[in-house]
């Protein structure tokens, strides 16, 4: 090996170590991603919605728990939780601690795969495949205490939207909801048609296109989802490589239209708003993020013109 080749190999190795160190550190760089969006009926008063997703909590993650607890200081009118709260079979008390003050506010929730089954060790490279979808019939998975989790999430009055509809009065707004169980596990079943309010919201853990289409057809003005982790490992200047679903990578996180752009953009007439959260956590077996900080979304909803 020549000196030049040796130096190049050393530089590559140092870069790899530096990148990995940053990716581990980034999992603790919690942030609030704020969007202001005209989604409410004309003449409405503003509404603040806090979207929390993919906590993937373990009992030892005290820093994350404390950070989530203080989100009540954002004074949201409504909290939407889109699942994957657990990453350990003893983590339900951690969820209670993290969400405690928020559970006293109006809220709704759906569940994700890691609210039913514990994460499993696997080749980290699978996260870079188009989908790491789990097949329950062939994978032996450890069940999690789902009933205990649902009891905690429901304890303050949050609506369970597991393949269900619901209504809430929030800050003077009458809001209707439609939700589904986790599409990543093929548990999603759109509930029978029902009456809806002028502001109608769809809630799902995984943003599979069949669910987004169904909620759009159901009249949702806004659809709220998680699951993607924003791609988890993003390429600066390019974005996400995967979404762990059939959603396009351009919508791996953030606020977008579905289908297509918003009505004030070409070809977007009649579309709904879609907010996909990059979420707060990771699998314990892939505890890294790169160019994709853990986040919650604060949606500042305004009336349409």
Q: Is the model more confident about 174 or about 120?
A: 174
Please report the pLDDT score of residue 251 as a whole number. Answer: 95
pLDDT exceeds cutoff 70 at 166: yes
Mean pLDDT throughout 50-59? 98
Please report the pLDDT score of residue 21 as a whole number. Answer: 74
Q: Are 36 and 300 in contact (CB under 8 A)?
A: yes
Give 272's strand partners.
Answer: 258
Chain-wide mean pLDDT for the chain? 89
User: Rounded to an integer, what distance in angstroms lies between the CA atom of residue 50 and that of residue 148?
Assistant: 23
Please report the pLDDT score of residue 121 as a whole number. Answer: 81
CATH T-level topology, domain 3-303 = Purple Acid Phosphatase; chain A, domain 2 (3.60.21)
Q: 3-12, 34-43, 273-282: lowest mean pLDDT where?
A: 3-12
User: Rounded to an integer, what distance in angstroms lies between the CA atom of residue 193 and that of residue 108?
Assistant: 19
Over residues 19-32, the pLDDT tens digits come to 557 688 999 999 99
Q: Residue 70: which residues within 8 A CB-CB, separation 6 or more?
A: none
Over residues 207-220, the pLDDT tens digits come to 999 999 999 999 99
pLDDT exceeds cutoff 70 at 9: no
Q: At what angle do helices 146-154 and 92-99 cross, to 10 degrees?
A: 20
pLDDT bucket at 149, cuts 50 / 70 / 90: very high
């Amino acid at each position: 090996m020549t000196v030049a080749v040796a130096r190049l190999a050393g530089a590559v190795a140092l870069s790899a170590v530096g990148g990995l160190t940053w990716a581990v550190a980034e999992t603790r760089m919690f942030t609030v991603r704020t969007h202001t969006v005209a989604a409410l009926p004309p003449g409405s008063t503003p509404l603040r919605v806090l979207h929390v997703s993919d906590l993937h909590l373990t009992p030892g993650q005290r820093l994350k728990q404390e950070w989530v607890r203080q989100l009540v200081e954002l004074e949201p009118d409504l909290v939407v939780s889109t699942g994957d709260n657990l990453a350990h079979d003893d983590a339900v008390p951690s969820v209670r601690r993290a969400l405690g003050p928020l559970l006293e506010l109006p809220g709704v929730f759906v569940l994700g795969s890691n609210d039913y089954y514990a994460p499993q060790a696997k080749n980290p490279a699978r996260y870079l495949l188009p989908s790491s979808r789990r097949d329950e019939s062939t994978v032996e998975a450890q069940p999690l205490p789902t009933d205990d989790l649902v009891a905690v999430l429901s304890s303050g009055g949050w609506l369970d939207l597991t393949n269900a509809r619901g209504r809430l009065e929030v800050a003077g707004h009458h809001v209707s909801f439609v939700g589904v169980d986790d599409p990543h596990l093929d548990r999603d079943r759109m509930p029978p048609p029902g009456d809806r309010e002028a502001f109608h919201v769809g809630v799902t853990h995984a943003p599979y296109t069949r669910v987004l289409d169904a909620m759009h057809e159901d009249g949702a003005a806004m659809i709220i989802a998680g699951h993607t982790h924003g791609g988890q490992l993003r390429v600066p200047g390019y974005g996400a490589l995967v979404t762990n679903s059939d959603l396009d990578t351009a919508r791996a996180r953030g606020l977008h239209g579905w289908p297509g752009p918003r009505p004030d953009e070409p070809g977007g007439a009649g579309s709904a708003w879609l907010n996909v959260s990059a979420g707060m956590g990771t699998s314990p077996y892939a505890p890294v993020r790169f160019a994709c900080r853990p986040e919650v979304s604060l949606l500042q909803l305004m009336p349409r013109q």
